Structure 1
Amino acid sequence: MSLRPPEQPVNDDQSYLHHRQLKRGAAGWVLLAGLGVAYVISGDFAGWNLGLAQGGWGGLLIAFILMGIMYTCMVFGLAELSSALPTTGAGYGFARRALGPLGGFATGMAVLIEYAVAPAAIATFIGGYIEALGLFGLTNSWPVYLVTFAVFVGIHLRGVGEALKLIFAITAIAVIALAAVVAGLAPHFNAANLFDVVPDGSPTSSAFLPMGVGGVVAALVYAIWFFLAVEGVPLAAEETADPKKDMPRGIIVAVLVLVVFGALMLILVPGAAGSEAMGASSNPLPEAIRLAYGGNTLLADFVNYAGLAGLVASFFSIIYAYSRQLFALSRAGYLPKWLSLTGKRRTPYWALIVPGALGFVLAATTGNGALLINIAVFGATVSYVLLNLSHIVLRVKEPDLPRGYRTPGGAVTTTIALLLAAVAVVATFVVDVLAASITAAVFAAALLYYWFYSRHRIVSGAPEEEFARLAAAEAELSN
């Protein structure tokens, strides 16, 4: 007897899906790689540095290496999954095929928590960069949050092709800024600055690990900020020219670029300005330049302004990601179906507006980037456990599934990522047990909503459900 909940086909006719279509062929692999970098590049400008206060430079370095391994291994698995199952549901679609409807919904909701909260965290850093420039005489950043959400949600409502190209252009500016930071700080690097955090006296503390081994675990959350959301590239599958080829190229190139830039920022920024000072900064890159040069410079101002481009690039692109994840879950009936309606420009307008409003409220009421990072990372790490498990299960259950790309090392590679992701879930409770617990309760409430309500309203004609139904039919024929 199967323990999986029954699926009830709902509203299979073509008119339902006609009002829930995206624009196809809008992106090739170069735009996808740019999208992957854009998702994450704000993490190089702010957020990661808070890990210096949690674990010192040595603790954050170890955390960065571990999370770099986790993301690289996971991305190889996602490259395979996205070439085999190219749908907008991405993570939800992969887990739906491997783990059934409950596993698919759980993965989709974890991703949605990540993507809905991450823009709120980025908005607080945008406010910090603007305040550092002294623009508009602001002493409270909530107007910045409001304008940021309103403008960039509005641009997405115009259409996906326009949005992806603008994201790519903004990301290019941010990459130039990071290159300028490298050139400007390299001459001022002093290894002693990396270790200026005073050890806390715990049994395993030292100059290298001032908060001991526990600091490494706490720093994992902020090391993830160097990479968080790159897994969102497959969400563009239905809007890609050739997903079987373009998806693997785009996401792998993106993660390699992010590893390089993350390593450079981790070494040069505290190496020039000191780990202690950077561990408390809301705008670490321009502040590091000002500290290194003994005052304000044109380079610091340029990086400050261009840093806004980096923050905006991630903010802008993650709006794209949350809208597509919400669109896919709604289109399939897991969440209210009105959230997946699309307009004349084939953009899911309610899926853009509703999480945007929620993100603004979170940013305006908390103003706490570190808290919001921890909430976003909780959702992310739970989804990573399920995504890597999905790759492993599909390798065992469907070895003959057509794959445009195959993960080097196969299931061993994603098993490494799964174990590291599980450790990262625990780390969110170490950093802020209350925030992680509240987020876990929201996640559990979503699962109850599925179990008692939406599982009876699944739309079997949705692409992710169609994939699963065809797989079930093929399995029956083979038996």
Structure 2
Amino acid sequence: MNPQHNPGLSKSLGTLELWGIAVGLVISGEYFGWSYGWASAGTMGFLVTTFFVALMYTTFIFSFTELTTSIPHAGGPFEYSRRAFGPTGGYIAGFATLIEFVFAPPAISLAIGAYVNVQFPALDPKLIAVGAYLVFMTLNILGVHIAAMFELGVTLLAIFELLVFMGVVAPGFSMVNFVKGGWAGQDGFSMAAFSGIFAAIPFAIWFFLAIEGVAMAAEEAKTPRRSIPIAYIGGILTLVILATGVMIFAGGAGDWTKLANINDPLPQAMKIIVGENSGWLHMLVWLGLFGLIASFHGIILGYSRQIFALARAGYLPEVLERVHPKRHTPYVAILAGGAVGIAAIFSDSWITFGGQSLTANIVTMSVFGAIVMYIMSMLSLFKLRATAPHMERSYRAPLYPIFPAIALIGAFVCLATMIYYNALVAGVFAGLMVVGYVYFLTTHARRSEMLAASGSIA
């Protein structure tokens, strides 16, 4: 597409809005999804898993920020890996990120449906999920500044609600409840508990999944080299504190096994303490939606920029790079990602397998994409430090190479254990990567022409 006829993205995001995106992208992970980890590891085992994953994410974000500030590009990890390893490296990181961001929203939308269904049992959660897609795709198309301000508002409300949840259940909290049956297999530590700790990794990752999506808004930031480090570091610290608090307070509210395989663990945990008819419970359901909406809305922003960047570089069909002439938003990419997500919502027959629910398998698929992208990003950081030492780096990863090495090793451990415990989902993920690679190979000529015209990497 001729860039003269395709308007660029608008630079309108400040530090606070970027922090709102960083936290908002992830905060639904505090509301649902993580409790499936209790089914695998128990409360104590999952606590160990979460600490390991939190360490990986903290070191990753401190390292990843160097790439984001050095290469503020809408493609994020795709562009970092392309700079470091060429077109194939760009494809691996870009398509993995695409899977992460396209598969996360249907899981979140199903949780939105579950939360609304608590108040209105007659409503089909899947239809509510589709309605959420239609509303928030529209909001994203209207403009990035409008979308970011909305994101900041609902994120602040979501944080407030998590604090309210912890405050309301605190009087009924009991550590005895939390530790009872807290290890997989039995009350004490065993090989079954050790196995459960690793099996629960995808659900601990869900606590933090998609925070890296701020990188995809870097091209729309006013001062990315100053504001992105603040947004990222403030965001990860906020999320670690909230994740730990929510998990411990929910687990100590009563019989945590009743919360381990559901999409609305916080309302159900609060119900144990205050009863089914309490005003606190109804408030949590309604305000709790803000956390899910924040992530859902933010990830739509993230997947659309990833699709846009891949299409602009010739990795996806040209039509997907179209930007709205007035709103300056990648509207075709927004609609395309939404179509895939809505299809996933109604694909129980092929997403429900391996003994896990539809939501659990969608979460796991999204996490596979994230982990592959984390590995490629850390490898890119090491490679660019060696091959592009003079590249402008307004922010440098602290304790290099220790922090990126911890993140890289942690990501490899996560990938290996996820493949072992989720072989069927891993096979589907690999199949999608192969299909994407075939398309990548067939579009080589088009990419070569585009990149030769721009003077960029081939």
TM-score range, shorter chain: over 0.9
Q: CA deviation at 1:274?
A: 3.1
Q: Pick from 16, 26, 40 the counterpart of residue 3 of structure 2.
A: 16
Q: Given the alignment of the two structures, is residue 55 of structure 1 paired with residue 36 of structure 2, yes or no?
A: no
Aligned position for 1:346: 328
Distance 1:294 1:23 in 2: 48
Q: CA deviation at 1:94?
A: 0.8
Q: Are the structure 2 counterparts of residues 209 and 194 from structure 1 closer, same or farther at C-alpha, using a change threshold of 3 Å?
A: farther
Q: Secondary structure at the match of 1:226?
A: coil
Q: Given the alignment of the two structures, is residue 314 of structure 1 paired with residue 267 of structure 2, yes or no?
A: no
Aligned position for 2:267: 286
Aligned position for 2:145: 161
Q: Are the structure 2 counterparts of residues 406 and 468 from structure 1 closer, same or farther at C-alpha, using a change threshold of 3 Å?
A: farther
Q: TM-score, normalised by structure 2?
A: 0.93
Q: Pick from 247, 254, 267 the counterpart of residue 235 of structure 2.
A: 254
* RMSD of Structure 2 on Structure 1 (CA): 2.0
Residues 120-158 of structure 1: CA deviation (Å, up to 9, x unaligned): 1111111111111225x22x3221122111111011111
Q: CA deviation at 1:191?
A: 0.9
Distance 2:271 2:339 in 1: 35
Distance 1:289 1:41 in 2: 18
Q: Which amino acid aligns with 1:154?
A: T
Q: Are the structure 2 counterparts of residues 142 and 462 from structure 1 closer, same or farther at C-alpha, using a change threshold of 3 Å?
A: farther
Q: CA deviation at 1:194?
A: 1.4
Aligned position for 2:375: 385
Distance 1:190 1:215 in 2: 23
Q: Secondary structure at the match of 2:257?
A: helix
Moved more, 42-51 or 125-134: 125-134
Aligned position for 1:364: 346
Percentage of matched positions with identical amino acids: 33
Q: Secondary structure at the match of 2:428?
A: helix
Q: Pick from 93, 103, 107 the counterpart of residue 79 of structure 2.
A: 93
Q: Which amino acid aligns with 2:53?
A: M
Aligned position for 2:127: 143
Distance 2:47 2:182 in 1: 17
Q: Which amino acid aligns with 1:402?
A: E
Mark the runs of 5 or more structure 2 residues left unpaired by the alignment.
349-356
Aligned position for 2:93: 107
Aligned position for 1:453: 442
Distance 2:256 2:28 in 1: 19
Q: Secondary structure at the match of 1:362?
A: helix
How is 1:405-420 mapped onto 2 (pairs within 5 angstroms)?
Answer: 405-420=395-410
Aligned position for 2:352: none
Aligned position for 1:3: none
Residues 55-108 of structure 1: CA deviation (Å, up to 9, x unaligned): 001221111111111111111112111111111111111111111111011101
Residues 154-193 of structure 1: CA deviation (Å, up to 9, x unaligned): 1111111111111111111111100101111222211111
Aligned position for 1:240: 221
Q: Are the structure 2 counterparts of residues 20 and 217 from structure 1 closer, same or farther at C-alpha, using a change threshold of 3 Å?
A: farther
Is the CA contact (8 Å cut-off) linking 1:374 and 1:431 kept in structure 2?
A: no
Is the CA contact (8 Å cut-off) linking 2:6 and 2:322 kept in structure 1?
A: yes
Residues 36-66 of structure 1: CA deviation (Å, up to 9, x unaligned): 1000000000000110001001221111111
Residues 247-306 of structure 1: CA deviation (Å, up to 9, x unaligned): 111111111110110010111111113331221232111111111234431111111111
Q: CA deviation at 1:393?
A: 1.1
Q: Pick from 421, 425, 448 the counterpart of residue 415 of structure 2.
A: 425
Q: Are the structure 2 counterparts of residues 198 and 176 from structure 1 closer, same or farther at C-alpha, using a change threshold of 3 Å?
A: closer
Q: CA deviation at 1:364?
A: 2.2
Q: Are the structure 2 counterparts of residues 444 and 461 from structure 1 closer, same or farther at C-alpha, using a change threshold of 3 Å?
A: closer
Distance 2:374 2:243 in 1: 20
Is the CA contact (8 Å cut-off) linking 2:15 and 2:231 kept in structure 1?
A: yes
How is 1:456-471 mapped onto 2 (pairs within 5 angstroms)?
Answer: 456-458=445-447, 468=457
Distance 1:70 1:117 in 2: 22
Distance 1:157 1:267 in 2: 38
Distance 2:404 2:262 in 1: 35
Residues 225-264 of structure 1: CA deviation (Å, up to 9, x unaligned): 0000001101111111011111111111111110110010
Q: Are the structure 2 counterparts of residues 339 and 75 from structure 1 closer, same or farther at C-alpha, using a change threshold of 3 Å?
A: same
Is the CA contact (8 Å cut-off) linking 1:54 and 1:211 kept in structure 2?
A: no
Residues 366-404 of structure 1: CA deviation (Å, up to 9, x unaligned): 282111001101111111111111111111222221101
Q: Which amino acid aligns with 1:409?
A: L
